[in-house]
Structure 1
Amino acid sequence: MRIAIANDMFMAVEALRRVVVKVPDYKLAWVAYDGVEAVNKCADDTPDLILMDVLMPSMDGVEATRQIMSQSPCAIVMVTASVNRYAAKVFEAMGYGALDAVNTPAFGDDGLLNKIATIARLIGKSSHRRSPPLHRLKSLPPLIVIGASTGGPKALTTILSQFPPDFPAAVVIVQHVDVEFVTGFATWLNEQIPMPVQLAIADALPQSGKILLAGTNLHLVMRPDLTLGYDKEPLNFSSRPSVDVFFSSVAKNWTGHGVAVLLTGMGQDGAQGLKRLRQAGWHTIAQDRKTCIVYGMPKVAVELGAVVEVLPVEAIASACIKYLPSGLR
């Protein structure tokens, strides 16, 4: 895999270069010292991956990402001294197509290698396909996946407020909301419900007692190793992130027990994915017409035969709990 570095700090460039050259399959494509140079070099020689600094002179990494993704797109990981400090810029860059973000590695820090390996698998440049470790398969929590659009925030609080903070299942949500507002949405949810809510980051693994929320305008996906990631494909889906894409990836890869819920929303996103989950043995639930703000997505799912139960929103949480393994209720 050919990897480029865009960073104006010599020490950071050297730290990143040392990470890249540790793996024989990785080759350093080029180095750019500001955003303008990165855009121009990418146009002339598009690499497989760019490690893009957030703050640079002439043009910062956010604008460089925007231009690259519109002119000569490739995988981009944002690199910054502090992801938390510059979260707003990181999420802005993800809105333009950056896949992930990482703190600038210190010398001897191999954490970035795992991130690069994940990106390599995502873009098909990995030399091998990683499978879930055996111990992970034995200890999978029950998984509840939820898709929602118009009217979703209120429906979600109704359901999630009924789960206790030590809820023995993992929850992953795809809510149609622009990346500009998703961080605020996660904060708002945390104030409304007992369970902790976090934005799903690349390599996250669903865990009992935690809610993960799709956090970019890319599609949230579950990978074969059961971790979560983001993918810009398929490009022709109007909903980004797409409930269908996420549900379908879960149906393909998750090997444990699961309940899938499709809530209020316009259009048909999620219906096909819900059907795949039902065919894979999941218990599938759709919100009923009476309690939906827009009875679009659930209606299509019902018509497709994707739904086991149609329930008012107030009854969905208890139905999810009912279908947990008996020893966990």
Structure 2
Amino acid sequence: MSSERRVRVMIVEDSLVVRQLLAHIVGRDPRFVLASAVASAEEALAEIGRVKPDVISMDIRLPGIDGLEATRRIMSEHPTPIVVIADSVEDASLRISMNALRAGALSVVEKPVGVASSAYERIAETITTQLFIMSSVPVIRRRTFASAASAAAPPQPLARRSEFAKLSYLALAASTGGPPALAKVLEALPQDFPAAVFVVQHMGSAFMEGFAAWLHGLSPLPVALAEDGVAALPGRVYVAPGDRHLAIDPGGVMKLVSGPTAPTQRPSANILFESLARSAGSHTAGVLLTGMGEDGGQGLLELRRAGGYTIAEHQSSAVVYGMPAAAVRLKAAREILPLDAIGPRVAQLASKRAEG
């Protein structure tokens, strides 16, 4: 790979040991050039205009300005793809990391461990993969996100209730850019929402408990990780663990599958949607949100064929228009809506106002 095409990485990390580990991980990968490694957000903000990195590795717990505020300023002043490097076991760090995603960061990965650790290579590979993939995401769109979404046409009035069955289940799936999008949809649901909600978010398994807790603090509905063999209750949100597939059996019984990685990802949106198509198709709404890749498109098509109400996020609001685009190509989505309209549409589906 020629030097002109190598990805320029800025590392922001106050720990000298972790900063050196990250520099080693980046430096040994021929896809990257280490453009800068700094110990504080203040240094990053001062350097970014000169360095012009393609992607930033951002620590969250920094002295002075923390990673969340640094993310906000970077996305406002020098929009650049940001990958958050977080301590997976520290609750406060996880909350800040999730809020950084809402502020414009693209993904969150575990901090590297010492080279003697058996987990070193796995974590290093995850870090480099995320840095490389996210370096190509056009994050400047985040600055015009609100105006683009609100400019899109509002959803049309719903069809008569007779055209689709009572809503018993809602399935939401997302990848890159997903946490803030999922929060946006859930925040729009009423406290008396009558359906059980299932969530697939592509994220490292170490972060899923913290992710569910973060959503719980934002959603009007209680949020928890899904449990194998438990029947889902209306008005509750169940998040798929990061290392297992979530499928729904008849009666809303959740099944966690530790099988091989399905076509692209574990947990897989396709597996969730397809299981609901089999068990409760006409009683299910399926929503495919922002994300890289094509996971969920085929499953959403199966759900639509089974009588489910299917929605894909519109390109105008998607951080990455990969997964929704796959659904659109397959004609899997009954509606294609900007993010701001999806939560209200789902609430409308479940309300008595949908009756005609």
In 1, the alpha carbon distance for the partners of 2:191 and 2:224 equals 14
Do the aligned residues in 2 keep the contact of 1:176 with 1:240 (CA within 8 Å)?
yes
Aligned partner (choices 313, 316, 319) of residue 287 of structure 1: 313
Do the aligned residues in 1 keep the contact of 2:199 with 2:237 (CA within 8 Å)?
yes
| Aligned residue number for residue 157 of structure 1 | 183
Shift of 1:326: 3.0
The 5 Å alignment of 1:64-213 reads: 142-213=168-239
Query: Any idea what the Cα deviations from partners look like across 1:71-93, whole Å, max 9, x if unmatched?
Result: xxxxxxxxxxxxxxxxxxxxxxx
Aligned partner (choices 329, 336, 342) of residue 310 of structure 1: 336
Which amino acid in the other structure matches residue 350 of structure 2? L
| Aligned residue number for residue 301 of structure 1 | 327
Q: 3-state DSSP class of the match of 1:323? A: helix
Aligned partner (choices 287, 296, 299) of residue 261 of structure 1: 287
Which amino acid in the other structure matches residue 290 of structure 1? S
Do the aligned residues in 1 keep the contact of 2:189 with 2:346 (CA within 8 Å)?
no
Choose 300-309 or 162-171, whichever is displaced more.
162-171
Do the aligned residues in 2 keep the contact of 1:265 with 1:298 (CA within 8 Å)?
yes
In 2, the alpha carbon distance for the partners of 1:205 and 1:314 equals 30
Once the two structures are aligned, what percentage of the paired residues are identical?
40
Structure 2 portions without partners, runs of 5+: 1-165
Do the aligned residues in 2 keep the contact of 1:141 with 1:208 (CA within 8 Å)?
no
Do the aligned residues in 1 keep the contact of 2:186 with 2:343 (CA within 8 Å)?
yes
Choose 244-253 or 270-279, whichever is displaced more.
244-253
| Aligned residue number for residue 126 of structure 2 | none
In 2, the alpha carbon distance for the partners of 1:312 and 1:255 equals 24
Which amino acid in the other structure matches residue 193 of structure 2? F
Do the aligned residues in 1 keep the contact of 2:193 with 2:347 (CA within 8 Å)?
no
Choose 264-273 or 247-256, whichever is displaced more.
247-256
Do the aligned residues in 2 keep the contact of 1:142 with 1:256 (CA within 8 Å)?
no
- RMSD, aligned α-carbons: 1.9
In 2, the alpha carbon distance for the partners of 1:256 and 1:286 equals 17
Greater fraction helix: 2
Shift of 1:170: 1.3
Query: Any idea what the Cα deviations from partners look like across 1:33-82, whole Å, max 9, x if unmatched?
Result: xxxxxxxxxxxxxxxxxxxxxxxxxxxxxxxxxxxxxxxxxxxxxxxxxx
Correspondence 1:221 to 2:247: yes
User: Aligned in 2, Cα 1:262/1:269: closer, same or farther, shift over 3 Å?
Assistant: same
Do the aligned residues in 1 keep the contact of 2:167 with 2:194 (CA within 8 Å)?
yes
In 1, the alpha carbon distance for the partners of 2:334 and 2:354 equals 22
Do the aligned residues in 2 keep the contact of 1:165 with 1:196 (CA within 8 Å)?
no
Correspondence 1:275 to 2:301: yes
Correspondence 1:233 to 2:259: yes
Q: 3-state DSSP class of the match of 1:164? A: coil
Q: TM-score, normalised by structure 1?
A: 0.55
Query: Any idea what the Cα deviations from partners look like across 1:179-232, whole Å, max 9, x if unmatched?
Result: 100000011111112111011000122221111110241111112453111113
Do the aligned residues in 2 keep the contact of 1:244 with 1:274 (CA within 8 Å)?
yes
In 2, the alpha carbon distance for the partners of 1:327 and 1:227 equals 29
Q: 3-state DSSP class of the match of 1:248? A: helix
Q: Which runs of 4+ in 1 moved over 6 A?
A: none
Structure 1 portions without partners, runs of 5+: 1-139
| Aligned residue number for residue 36 of structure 1 | none
Do the aligned residues in 2 keep the contact of 1:141 with 1:207 (CA within 8 Å)?
no
Paired residues, number? 190
Shift of 1:165: 2.2
Q: 3-state DSSP class of the match of 2:350? A: coil
